Structure 1
Amino acid sequence: MTSTDLHLPRGATANAQYTVDIDPKRAGWAHSSLRIVELSPGGTHTFTTGDSEWIVLPLQGGCTVQIEEKEFQLLGRESVFASVSDFAYAPRETRVQIASGAGGRFALAGAKCERRLPARYGPAPEVPVEQRGSGTCARQVRNFASAARAGGADEQGFDCDKLIAVEVITPGGNWSSYPPHKHDEHRPGEESELEEIYYFEIDGPNGFGYQRVFPSREGGSDVLAEVRSGDAVLVPDGWHGPSIAQPGHAMYYLNVMAGPGATREWRICFHPDHVESTGGYR
């Protein structure tokens, strides 16, 4: 893919329903999806899940999520920088309605899946939160739908069939998603093949950040993007990182991942030239 295929500025995939709409066809891959829906006060949005599982994650504001006969009240949050959020899981082959009395902005993170799991509520207090790295590589990672990772760490706080999703807050001036790493081939116990979406929001007006993706093989993905609130970057393959926050402006990103593996694993390979430079990643 070219750099213009990988970096999707705010509005590049917008339609009448979504400010961001990335599905496998648009991304040129097979598994991962992300939609951002904005609701005015009293607004509603209805969608069918098809052959994918979805998580409804409030970015700003709260909502009610109706999934078949179940109803979940999501308290949400003031902004992605304020706190973690509760969320709702919707299985494949169902109908979902989101309603927000005060209005808000909501992420729909999706992955094509095989098992049909039950609709469920994810409480904010149960989201595993960790402070990773140190110094200029310090950041906060919210593992709300994580999976088994390299090195034996398992922070899977919520069961999905294929979907993996986390949030990261990088303080202004810091680097995250570092050292550069990849997950574009299947190597049992060492690396899992996963398509990945980065969705960004920047704290404060006129803020920006940078995202790097570079080839792990000849002809692979290659982009250095200046990202602003509402932008997305696709990572179908290749080394990715760092994600760099402008000084004075914290950077948020939502990672959505899925792949063809028989088991749901988040196993990554670090770039050998940079692995000694910091004690952590993401």
Structure 2
Amino acid sequence: MTATTSSLHLPAGSTAAGPYTLHVTPESAGWGHSGLRVLALGAGETHELETGPDEVVLVPLEGSFDVECDGESLSLAGRASVFAGPTDVVYLPRDATARLTGAGGGRLALCTARARARLPVRHRPAADVPVELRGAGSCSRQVHNFATADTFPADSLIACEVITPGGNWSSYPPHKHDETSEHETELEEIYYYEVSTGPDGQPGLAYQRVYGTPERPVDVLAEVRDGDVVLIPHGWHGPSIAAPGHDLYYLNVMAGPGPERAWRIVDDPAHTWIRGTWATEQVDPRLPLHSPATDPQDQAPGQNGATRP
């Protein structure tokens, strides 16, 4: 049976549960490892979180928060919006109780993954988050690698944010990571989207493509809007297309069954040639978007996306 748009595209509000405006668990997704929740808290409001079998990375989407867990009291300075640059994050271990408080109020993403090991609570400041400009030309995008495998210790969770300027294609060329080999790691993936409004204040939109192989079919072409989610159990995914005039944000949450925490991907062979065009193109001058953390002139060789999707 082919998984289709109707089963993998979750419109904003369709998974709301209790205090969460978004609530995706491994059980609700029909897989085994990755999850995502979004919690709205007013100033001074609190929420008690039981992490259970999951490790959790707390990511402010907007606003600031205080966190108490395992005897640690931490503050998340947060940000005004997802388009205001990278944010600080907090890691919570499995089998923990955390008290979350809206310091200034706002919305908090809880990126989750089933974990075997129990690691300590810790805070990563925004200034320590690597900001990468990936791709070139109309494939330019900005990546905040706050919890990727090569930059942040965790048991199984991999997470990052991507900002795509209006009119650009992101998550391109299409790629997959659904097998265990020297070239791939098997990872379930969640895409959570926010889309900027246009100059007239009208809501924005974007598009997401996911397609499979004959052996493992999947077929998604979704028009995504603010607060939507697309689940990617397997298959090629990309492009993520930002409509002209509307910058696109997406939060990626990944985890899988393998003992190795790594992000290895393979391109769809029909489209990988596009990487070769980036060597002669400039990074979109609109990037870095609302963030002074990275200057295109300061990139290391190959940082413009020679080996990353």
TM-score range, shorter chain: over 0.9
User: For each residue in 1:193-237, what CA deviation from the matched residue of structure 2 results, as whole angstroms up to 9, or x when unmatched?
Assistant: 000000000011310000000012335221000000100000000
1:168 aligns with 2:162: yes
Q: Is the 8 A contact 2:206 2:240 kept in 1?
A: yes
Give the Cα–Cα distance (whole angstroms) in 2 for the partners of residues 219 and 142 of structure 1. 31
1:52 is aligned, of 42, 51, 54, to 54
- Aligned residue for 2:16? 14
Q: RMSD between aligned alpha carbons? A: 1.0
The letter of the residue matching 2:128 is E
Q: Is the 8 A contact 2:216 2:235 kept in 1?
A: no
Q: Is the 8 A contact 1:126 1:157 kept in 2?
A: no
* Structure 2 alignment gaps of length 5 or more: 279-304
Q: Counterpart of 1:33 in 2: which secondary structure?
A: strand
User: For each residue in 1:255-280, what CA deviation from the matched residue of structure 2 results, as whole angstroms up to 9, or x when unmatched?
Assistant: 00000111101000110000011343
Matches within 5 A, 1:91-130: 91-130=93-132
Give the Cα–Cα distance (whole angstroms) in 2 for the partners of residues 57 and 128 of structure 1. 15
Matches within 5 A, 1:216-255: 216-255=213-252
- Aligned residue for 1:179? 173
Matches within 5 A, 1:254-273: 254-273=251-270
Q: Is the 8 A contact 1:181 1:269 kept in 2?
A: yes
1:197 aligns with 2:178: no
The letter of the residue matching 1:160 is A
User: For each residue in 1:36-67, what CA deviation from the matched residue of structure 2 results, as whole angstroms up to 9, or x when unmatched?
Assistant: 00112221111111111000110000100111
Q: Counterpart of 1:218 in 2: which secondary structure?
A: coil
Give the Cα–Cα distance (whole angstroms) in 2 for the partners of residues 139 and 3 of structure 1. 25
Q: Counterpart of 1:4 in 2: which secondary structure?
A: helix
The letter of the residue matching 1:200 is Y
Q: TM-score, normalised by structure 1?
A: 0.95
Q: Counterpart of 1:109 in 2: which secondary structure?
A: strand
- Aligned residue for 2:38? 36
Number of residue pairs the alignment of both structures matches: 273
Stretches of 4+ moved more than 4 A in 1? none
* Structure 1 alignment gaps of length 5 or more: 148-155
The letter of the residue matching 1:176 is S
